[in-house]
Amino acid sequence: MNGFSKIGKILGVLLILPTVIMAVYLVMIANSEIAVEDVAAVSISDERYKHRYSKKEDIEKYVDLILDSTEDGTLQTNEFKEKPFVIEFEMKNGGKKSYHFYPSLWGESMIVDGSGLVRRVEVPNEMLLRAEYESVYASRHLPKVTVSLKEGEKAILPSVYEWSFKKTGEDFFRYTEGEVSSKDEIISLSSEALKKDVFKFSEKPDNYVYVYTKDGKNYSKLENMELFDGDEFTVTVSARWVESEEKMFFGEGKWSFLCVYKESPIITIEKTDVLSGGLVVLHVENIGEGEALTVETELITNKSPVVYKGENGKFALLPLALDNMGGDYDVCIKHGEYSFDFKIGVTASSKGFTMKNVDAETYNQATSPAGIAEYESFLKALAGKNSNSFLWEAPVLNKPVEGEVETAFGSEVLYNGVPPQVYFEGISFGVEAKTSVKSAAKGKVVFAGETWKTGKAVVIDHGCGIMTHYYHLSVLSAFEGEEVEGGKLIALSGETGFTDKADLYFAVSVNGVFVDPEMFFSAS
C-alpha cells in the first residue's frame, strides 16, 4: 500500500510539473511584454541620478529596448559586478514594471526582468549618448559635441575620429564602436543663438579649431560671414585631446554639420504710454507677413494681431479698448518659441458725460436680446472681411463730413435715463440730415445695409485690420463689394438707428476693437 502511495505522489508531481513550468514561462513572458500605448512614463535611475520621461518618443525608445531583447535562457543566480540602471515603466492602469539594465560599450548589454530572466540586447550608441548614461561613457566614449538651441541641447555625431581609452590599471584600448554622422541632418541656428557660444564639448579639448564654410569659402569666425535668412553654411569642428598618464583617454575628432541661418524675430514698441481707446504700434522684424502673434496680457485688446507690411517695414497693431482701466500692464508678445516682454501704461480716457433720448421703439428693439445679438453678429461678420495689406496710401483719414464733433470718443452716455451709462465708441458729427458723407480713405465696402443699432450704415475696409464705420445714414450710395477712392460720396446722413437726432456717427475699428477716430485725422 505504501508503495502505491509513493508511486501516486510521484505521478502527481509529474502531472503538476508541466503546469508549474508553463506558469513560470507565462510569468516570464508577462514580464517582457509591454506596449507604448499602455505606458504613462518611464524613469531611469542609477545610484546618483533619476531621469523621468513622459513624452511618447522617449517611452518608445525604452519599450523598443525591451522588445528588441532576446532571452538568454537563464535566471539570474548571482549579482553582476556592475551596478544596474533601473528602468521603471509607470503604466496607465497604475501598475509598474521594472527591469535592471546593464549597458555595455562593447558587445551585448544585459537586461534582467522582474522574474530574474536574463535578456541580451544590442544597444544603439545613440541611446548611450543620452543624459541617463553619463556615468557609463564619461571616461570612455568620444566626448560629445552639443549645439545649444532654443529648445535645448542637441548632440552632434562626429564625421571622423580616432579615440583611445583605458580601463583602470590597464593599457589604452582603441575605441571603434562609435557611430558617425550621416550628414543628413540640418540644424537651424538663429542670429540670436549665434551671438552666444552655442557649441559645447562634454570634455574640454586641449585644442580645437572651428571652420565655417559658405559658398565654397572658409571663415574662421562666424561674424566674418555675411548671412541672410535661409542661408546655408557648414560648421566643421576639429578637436584634439593629448595623451597623458593622468587621463583616461586621448584622441581627436572632427564634427561637420550643415546649418541653416534663421533671423531671430525682433519686436519693439514705439510708444508705451497710451490712452484707453488708443493704438500701440508693434515694429516687427524677421517675421513673415500675414503671420499672427500671440499676446498675453490683462489688457482688453486683440490677442492675435497679424503682421502687416508697410512702407517703413513690418508692423502689427495693438488696439486698446475703451474699457481698459488706468494703470501699468504687463504685456508678453510671443511668436513661436520667442517671447518679448513690455510694460504699457494706460490712462483711462474720459471725455465727459452726456444724455441722449432715443425713440422708444428703436430703444426697445436695439437693447432687446435680439437687437444685441444682431449687432454682435454684424461685428463678427466684419472680422472675416479684412484685407491683409493697406488699401490706402497713408495711415491718415479725412473727415467724412464738414462739421463739429458733438459727442467725443470716450464720452459716457446715458440713454433714455436708463442706467448704466455706456462709453461712446465713435464720434458724432453734428450735421443736418441729407449731408453728403464721403469715404475717409480708399478702401473696399464690406457692409452696406441696416441694423437696429446702426440704422442704415456703411463699413469700409482699408486693410491691415483698419475699418471705418458710418452710421445713422438716410440714403446709401455705396454697395457691398465696391472699391471706393478717398473722398467718394458713399451716403447721405440721417437719423436712423440708435440716435436722438440727425447726425453722422463715425467710428474706426482696428482688428475688431474700436479706437479713437480723431487720432487718424493727423499724421501724428
Q: Strand ranges (DSSP E) for 386-502?
A: 405-407, 412-415, 422-423, 427-429, 436-438, 443-451, 455-463, 466-476, 483-484, 489-493
Q: Are residues 358 and 309 in the same domain?
A: no
| CA pair distance 316, 310, nearest whole angstrom | 10
**Nearest to residue 187, comparing CAs of 202, 199, 201?**
199
| CA pair distance 490, 445, nearest whole angstrom | 9
Chain length of the chain: 524
Q: Are strands 273-275 and 338-347 parallel, antiparallel or unpaired?
A: parallel
User: 136-173 pLDDT, tens per residue?
Assistant: 654 556 777 888 776 677 888 788 888 777 644 456 66
Q: Are residues 339 and 452 in the same domain?
A: no
| CA pair distance 22, 141, nearest whole angstrom | 43
Q: Are residues 282 and 313 in the same domain?
A: yes
Q: Are residues 184 and 310 in the same domain?
A: no
Predicted model pTM: 0.59
| CA pair distance 148, 433, nearest whole angstrom | 68
3-state secondary structure (DSSP) of residue 417: coil
| CA pair distance 187, 147, nearest whole angstrom | 9
Asked which of 100, 128, 156 is the last residue of a domain, the reply is 128
User: 296-316 pLDDT, tens per residue?
Assistant: 999 999 999 999 888 788 899
384 falls in which pLDDT band (50, 70, 90)? confident
Q: Are residues 375 and 495 in the same domain?
A: yes
**What pLDDT is stored for residue 420 in this prediction?**
82
220 falls in which pLDDT band (50, 70, 90)? confident
Q: Are residues 62 and 15 in the same domain?
A: no
**500 torsion bin: left (phi>0), alpha (psi -120 to 50), beta (else):** alpha
384 burial level (CB within 10 Å; 0-12, 13-18, 19+)? exposed
Count of domains forming the chain: 5
Q: 420: cis peptide before it, omega within 30°? A: yes
What is the extent of the structural domain holding 301? Answer: 266-347
C-alpha cell at 457: 450704415
CA dihedral 200, 202, 207, 209 (to 10 degrees): -30
Q: Are residues 216 and 72 in the same domain?
A: no
Judge contact between 92 and 40, C-beta under 8 A. Answer: yes
Q: Are residues 328 and 424 in the same domain?
A: no
166 burial level (CB within 10 Å; 0-12, 13-18, 19+)? middle
CATH code at position 464 = 2.70.70.10
| CA pair distance 495, 159, nearest whole angstrom | 79
**What pLDDT is stored for residue 10 in this prediction?**
54
Judge contact between 391 and 443, C-beta under 8 A. Answer: yes
CATH code at position 71 = 2.60.40.4250
The fraction of the chain above a pLDDT of 90, given in percent, is: 46
21 falls in which pLDDT band (50, 70, 90)? very low
Measured in degrees and rounded to the nearest 5, phi and psi for residue 125 equal -60, -30
Give the helix/strand (H/E) hosting 64. Answer: helix 56-67
Give the helix/strand (H/E) hosting 504. Answer: strand 504-510
**465 torsion bin: left (phi>0), alpha (psi -120 to 50), beta (else):** left
Residue 312, CA distances (Å) to 229, 284, 287, 395, 431 in order:
19, 11, 15, 12, 37
Asked which of 86, 109, 128 is the last residue of a domain, the reply is 128
Average of per-residue pLDDT across 438-462: 96
Q: Are residues 435 and 492 in the same domain?
A: yes
Q: Are residues 510 and 362 in the same domain?
A: yes
**What pLDDT is stored for residue 41 in this prediction?**
96
133 located within any domain? no
Query: Which amino acid is it at 111?
Result: I
Q: Are residues 169 and 108 in the same domain?
A: no
Q: Are residues 343 and 390 in the same domain?
A: no
**What pLDDT is stored for residue 181 in this prediction?**
64
- Name the H helices within 247-383: 360-367, 369-383
Asked which of 128, 161, 182 is the last residue of a domain, the reply is 128
Residue 467 has pLDDT above 80, yes or no: yes
Judge contact between 454 and 432, C-beta under 8 A. Answer: no
β-strand partners of 89: 42, 97
Angle at 436 between CA 432 and CA 440, to 5 degrees: 115
4 located within any domain? yes
